[in-house]
């Protein structure tokens, strides 16, 4: 016989789970303590379930196996909804385990019908009992990881914690190796003929984060046919940003010029302007390649006529020989001119330093001191993130994380902690606006407590979107405390803090912060920058290039 906490800890480890994120309380504190005592699984205890849920969701994305979140019931589950929604929206594998009240419909301690709350939205949900733990854990992990990744939920009633399990009836864990599939030969042939017919027209390949697990195949496809490509924000590095066919620097022109668009693991959602004109040609034909059938034909005027449902790598491998000697002309002269013009504009912005620093000049200074191959960058905050996307190119996949499909704030430090745990040999740089930092700043104490060395760069413009140029008697809704001392907050939470007002400060303290983070202690740079353009706020993504 063995206790339920002992069994669950061993079972999770047998499925390859090495890290669990969360916050403990009655009754699940014994589960976390068992994991710690056994020493097989790291338990990372956060200060808030929201940040823990974001960390678990990002860990699932980075490792390819379900991130695991352990929280108390009731309010703990409610606070964790942020990461649950985030994983559902981004299609990341996540297993949520939560305690629940033994008393139902009586007003029990933190009572909430969590199955009813979640079952409509997650892939799998179930309440455990002593006889079903083995079966339901397998199905929860299977559903989270296989097919379209998503969220599974397991409800742990308080009276289960102290029960024992008969190990003689427990079977070894069942394999959860990936199951891959590919489109039919008929569908592949139809798309191949379509591509061949557009040899003299404008072709664009859009690469989404759904293609990050097929990096080698995508690179080979782009190289063989010399196709212009555009990565979505978290697909940067699937094909190196330095590649001659990368048209990110002329994004708007590339979109409105394309006659045929191959969409690899991306969605025609707001990030790609729903596939609509005037951002795209009204006559543009989209070929969607995705593992999720429900995404095919969505916001696509051609419907599913040219859709390819299957593993992206296998699909490209099967499509390649059908294209025979096809070789595209590469990036057009018009696009090349646009790329060169925009890159020159960026370099000019990076050299302009006024009375106060700005995003471009700070990022240029930081970029001089990072090694791309060894650095994962997390960015969040409207302008902070948008400028960072163009300022930090990368040659490697899964090394640029940001607000993603949800465009949510608060993910930064949770993501950074997950990134460091998933890539312990790499440096992790978390770039946040001062507003974004406020969502999860207390988690610096979590990073400090577990010796998770990383650098946090707070771009402090004293506001949400922008600060105020003058002291006003009536504060705007976007105003924050002017030049708030986040560096002192970091010091109080066990980290090293630095205040930077000049480029010399940024370079000096950033190099120092990197060395400190390498020892396991987090460091924060509070960089005071200009308040930014004043006036009415608008949704900038719809108006200008942000990739």
- Looking at residues 151-170, what average pLDDT do you find? 88
Per-residue pLDDT at 442: 97
| Same domain membership, residue 227 and residue 294 | yes
> What is the per-residue pLDDT for 546?
43
Average pLDDT over residues 26-47: 94
What is the model's pLDDT at position 157?
93
Calpha distance 270→541 (Å, rounded): 9
Residues 471, 531 within the same domain? yes
DSSP conformational letter for 541: G
Residue 346 within any structural domain of the chain: no
Instruction: Name the token pair of 541.
Output: 């993504």
Structural domains of the chain, count = 3
Pairing of strands 260-264, 285-290: parallel
pLDDT of residue 505: 97
* Region 501-527 average pLDDT: 97
What is the average pLDDT across 294-306? 92
- CATH number for the domain that contains residue 211: 3.40.50.1220
Residue 454: CATH number of its domain = 3.40.50.970
Q: Are 231 and 248 in contact (CB under 8 A)?
A: yes
Same domain, 191 and 161: no
Residues 259 and 197 in one domain: yes
Asked if the structure places residue 196 within a domain, the reply is yes
For the chain, percent of residues with pLDDT exceeding 70: 96
Q: What is the mean pLDDT of residues 114-125?
A: 95
Please count the CA atoms within 13 angstroms of the CA of 495 that sit on its side-chain side: 33
pLDDT of 541 higher than 80: no
Mean pLDDT for the chain overall: 92
Whether the per-residue pLDDT at 545 is higher than 60: the answer is no
Which token pair is 257?
């010029």
What are the pLDDT digits (tens) for 460-509?
998 888 777 666 667 788 888 889 999 999 999 999 999 999 999 999 99
129 and 227 together in one domain: no
pTM as predicted: 0.94
Q: Are 183 and 315 in contact (CB under 8 A)?
A: yes
Looking at the fold, whether 155 and 265 belong to one and the same domain comes out as no
79, two tokens: 């606070």
Over the stretch 255-294, which tens digit does the pLDDT of each residue have? 999 999 999 999 999 999 999 999 999 999 999 999 999 9
Nearest by Cα to 30 from 79, 86, 80, 97: 97
pLDDT band at 539 (very low <50, low <70, confident <90, very high): low
pLDDT in tens, 313-329: 999 999 999 998 888 98
Question: Does the structure show a pLDDT above 80 at 362?
Answer: yes
Residue labelled with tokens 């690469």 = 207
What is the pLDDT at residue 540? 53
Residues 490 and 367 in one domain: yes
- Alpha-carbon distance of 269 to 496, in angstroms, equals 40
Pair 331, 189 in one domain? yes
Side-chain-side CA neighbours of residue 543 (13 Å)? 5
Range of the domain at 259: 185-335
Residue 538: predicted pLDDT: 56
pLDDT of residue 547: 41
């Amino acid at each position: 016989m063995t206790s339920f906490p002992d069994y669950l800890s061993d079972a999770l480890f047998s499925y390859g789970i090495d890290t669990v994120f969360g916050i403990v309380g009655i009754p699940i504190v014994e589960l976390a303590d068992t994991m710690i005592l056994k020493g097989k699984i790291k338990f990372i205890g956060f200060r808030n379930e929201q940040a823990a849920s974001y960390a678990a969701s990002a860990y699932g994305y980075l490792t390819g196996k379900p991130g695991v979140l352990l929280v108390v019931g009731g309010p703990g589950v409610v606070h964790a909804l942020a990461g649950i929604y985030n994983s559902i929206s981004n299609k990341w594998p996540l297993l949520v385990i939560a305690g629940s009240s033994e008393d139902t419909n009586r007003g029990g301690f933190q009572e909430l019908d969590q199955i009813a709350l979640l079952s409509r939205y997650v892939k799998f949900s179930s309440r455990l009992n002593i006889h079903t733990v083995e079966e339901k854990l397998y199905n929860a992990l299977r559903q989270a990881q296989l097919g379209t990744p998503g969220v599974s939920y397991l409800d742990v009633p308080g009276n289960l914690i102290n029960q024992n399990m008969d190990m003689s009836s427990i079977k070894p864990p069942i394999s959860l190796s990936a199951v891959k599939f590919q489109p039919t030969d008929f569908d592949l042939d139809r798309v191949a003929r379509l591509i061949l017919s557009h040899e003299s027209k404008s072709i664009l390949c859009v690469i989404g984060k759904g293609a990050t697990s097929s990096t080698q195949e995508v690179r080979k496809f782009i190289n063989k046919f010399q196709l212009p490509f555009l990565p979505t924000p978290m697909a940067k590095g699937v094909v190196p940003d330095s590649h001659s066919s990368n048209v990110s620097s002329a994004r708007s022109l590339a979109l409105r010029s394309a006659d045929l668009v191959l969409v690899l693991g991306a969605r025609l959602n707001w990030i790609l302007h729903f596939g609509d004109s005037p951002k795209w040609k009204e006559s543009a034909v989209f070929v969607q390649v995705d593992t999720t059938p429900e995404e095919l034909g969505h916001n696509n005027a051609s419907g599913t006529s040219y859709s390819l449902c299957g593993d992206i790598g296998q699909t490209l491998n099967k499509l390649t020989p059908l294209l025979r000697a096809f070789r595209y002309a590469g990036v057009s002269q018009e696009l090349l001119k646009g790329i060169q013009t925009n890159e020159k504009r960026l370099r000019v912005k990076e050299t302009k330093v006024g009375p106060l620093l700005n995003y471009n000049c700070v990022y240029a200074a930081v970029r001089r001191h990072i090694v791309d191959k060894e650095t994962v960058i997390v960015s969040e905050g409207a302008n902070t993130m948008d400028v960072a996307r163009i300022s930090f190119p990368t040659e490697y996949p899964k090394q640029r994380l940001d607000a993603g499909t949800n465009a949510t704030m608060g993910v930064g430090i949770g993501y950074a902690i997950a990134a460091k745990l998933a890539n312990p040999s790499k440096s992790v740089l978390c770039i946040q606006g001062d507003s974004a930092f406020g969502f999860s700043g207390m988690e610096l104490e979590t990073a400090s407590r577990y010796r998770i060395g990383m650098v946090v760069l707070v771009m402090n413009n004293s506001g949400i979107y922008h600060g105020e140029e003058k002291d006003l008697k009536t504060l705007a809704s976007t105003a924050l405390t002017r030049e708030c001392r986040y560096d002192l907050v970091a010091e109080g939470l066990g980290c090293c803090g630095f205040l930077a007002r000049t480029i010399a400060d940024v370079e000096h303290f950033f190099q120092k912060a990197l060395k400190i983070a390498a020892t396991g202690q987090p460091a924060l740079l509070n960089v005071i920058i200009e308040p930014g353009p004043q006036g009415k706020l608008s949704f900038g993504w719809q108006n200008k290039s942000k990739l």
